[in-house]
Amino acid sequence: MKTIICGGGVIGTCTAYYLSRRGIDVSVVERTGIANASSGKSGGFLALDWCRGTPVDPLARRSFALHAELDTAIDIDWGYRRVETLGVAASPRRDLSRLWSATAPGWLGENAAVHGQLGTPETTAQVTPDLFTQAMMTASGAALVEGAVDGIILDGGCATGVLVDGNPLEADAVVIAMGPWSILACQWLPLPGVYGLKGHSLVFRYTPETPRALFVELEDHAGEISTPEVMPRPDGTTYVCGLSGEAPLPVDPAHVGTEEGGPEKLQAMTSLFAPELGAAEVIASQACYRPVTQDGMPVIGAVTGVEGAYVATGHSVWGMLNGPATGEAMAELIVDGAASTVDISPFAPERLPVLDAGALSVQN
């Protein structure tokens, strides 16, 4: 059985990994390189129970466990570690001394205070996202096909392959896992819309004395509220995100970039709650688009009416967390005809309306 996965992000590479464990011949088609979009530019934060009360909760819990298993099973270092996670309030306009906590990291500034513990090493963890995604690709042994997917080959209501830069590649199964660019597949398959939400991030050369993940509620001098997130990494860097962007999704992922003033604003925000961090060397200034759907839940399952076509996308901020369980479920669905480890019926594509291909919202 030959499967082609369209997309070299965390969902595509995890699907490739679990398919390969079932003995399936897998190729991954990717236009700009493995982990070159949001899978290489996210925070890499993992949480056991932050999706509780939603249909995503079983997927998240299974995937959190799989992350720990993969760290043991695969002899590649991608920066996996358990972490404590803290909630921080910060404002230069208010006295936050009443929130003082003995657990507060010493590298927080005088304008910031810890207001609570959001996660323990038993419930929160992290990976370095590009390293994890690349490791899944390596461990899968899948073939990498470089090029842009520009069509699905259909024969009598069955997907029999893909077109890559106009050239046909045959397959028994085709998986759409292109993140926000999955919207392009609406030209070829009856799929719901997937959209891109842009965000900026910075990577500082900075090693804090206490490597805790921070979720910050920040009020700046003008009273504007933002919610930066801080992820110290074991490689001596610290990742900060929390600033959105307005530019529309470009057709080519290589054209994704920061917006004017965006990195500078995010660095200034960082300096308000952690001056030493904000003054550190910036080694990466970047932006990416998170894939989201109309109802905020991922789309995972078989494409209705097209045998051999599957989709796995729309994970929003939880793609890195839910990559392993999604890949495992997709492998079960493709090989066995149904996912057995996690119930993916809440994520079926047919729950959402099919997008009219004429309504595609991407920028050339």
User: Averaged over 108-130, what is the pLDDT?
Assistant: 95
Looking at residue 82, its pLDDT comes to 98
Residue 103 has pLDDT above 80, yes or no: no
Three-class SS state of 196? strand
Residue that is last in its domain, among 241, 263, 291: 291
The answer as to whether 254 is a domain residue is yes
One domain for residues 159 and 10: yes
One domain for residues 99 and 227: yes
> Measured between alpha carbons, how far is 215 from 245 in angstroms, rounded to an integer?
19
- CA angle, corner 338, sides to 336 and 343, nearest 5? 140
Radius of gyration of the chain (CA): 21
Residue-averaged pLDDT of the chain: 96
237 DSSP 8-state letter: -
Residue 340 has pLDDT above 90, yes or no: yes
Q: Which residue has the tokens 């070299």?
A: 8
Residue 102 has pLDDT above 80, yes or no: no
User: Averaged over 102-116, what is the pLDDT?
Assistant: 86
For the chain, report the end-to-end CA distance as a whole number of angstroms: 35
What is the pairing mode between strands 213-219 and 299-302? unpaired
Instruction: Give the bridge partners for 199, in sequence order.
Output: 244, 288
User: Averaged over 353-359, what is the pLDDT?
Assistant: 85
- DSSP collapsed to 3 states, 205-218: CCCCCCCCEEEEEE
> Measured between alpha carbons, how far is 39 from 322 in angstroms, rounded to an integer?
12
pLDDT tens readout for residues 313-333: 999 999 999 999 999 999 999
The answer as to whether 364 is a domain residue is no
User: Averaged over 242-258, what is the pLDDT?
Assistant: 95
pLDDT tens readout for residues 124-145: 999 999 999 999 999 999 999 9
Residue that is last in its domain, among 236, 271, 291: 291
Burial bucket for residue 260 (CB in 10 Å: 0-12, 13-18, 19+): exposed
Contact 8, 178 (CB under 8 A): no
303 DSSP 8-state letter: P
CATH at 347: 3.50.50.60
Residue 42, CA distances (Å) to 36, 241, 287 in order: 11, 8, 9
For residue 256, the Cα-to-chain-centroid distance in whole angstroms is 16
> Measured between alpha carbons, how far is 40 from 31 in angstroms, rounded to an integer?
14
Residue 17 has pLDDT above 80, yes or no: yes
252 Cβ contact partners less than 8 Å away, ≥ 6 residues apart: 31, 32, 148
Contact 7, 177 (CB under 8 A): yes
Residue 123 has pLDDT above 80, yes or no: yes
- By residue count, the chain amounts to 364
Residue that is last in its domain, among 268, 291, 314: 291
One domain for residues 329 and 182: yes
Residue 357 has pLDDT above 60, yes or no: yes
> Measured between alpha carbons, how far is 86 from 213 in angstroms, rounded to an integer?
6
CATH at 258: 3.30.9.10
Looking at residue 211, its pLDDT comes to 86
pLDDT tens readout for residues 70-101: 999 999 999 999 999 999 999 998 877 776 66
CA max distance for the chain: 69
pLDDT tens readout for residues 184-225: 999 999 999 999 999 999 999 999 988 899 999 999 999 999
> Measured between alpha carbons, how far is 241 from 220 in angstroms, rounded to an integer?
16
One domain for residues 36 and 62: yes
One domain for residues 245 and 336: no
Backbone angles phi, psi at 68, to 5 degrees: -65, -40
The answer as to whether 276 is a domain residue is yes
pLDDT tens readout for residues 40-61: 999 999 999 999 999 999 999 9
Domain that holds residue 237: 85-119+196-291
**Number of folded domains in the chain?**
2
72 Cβ contact partners less than 8 Å away, ≥ 6 residues apart: none
Residue 364 has pLDDT above 60, yes or no: no
The answer as to whether 98 is a domain residue is yes
Looking at residue 104, its pLDDT comes to 79
> Measured between alpha carbons, how far is 192 from 210 in angstroms, rounded to an integer?
43
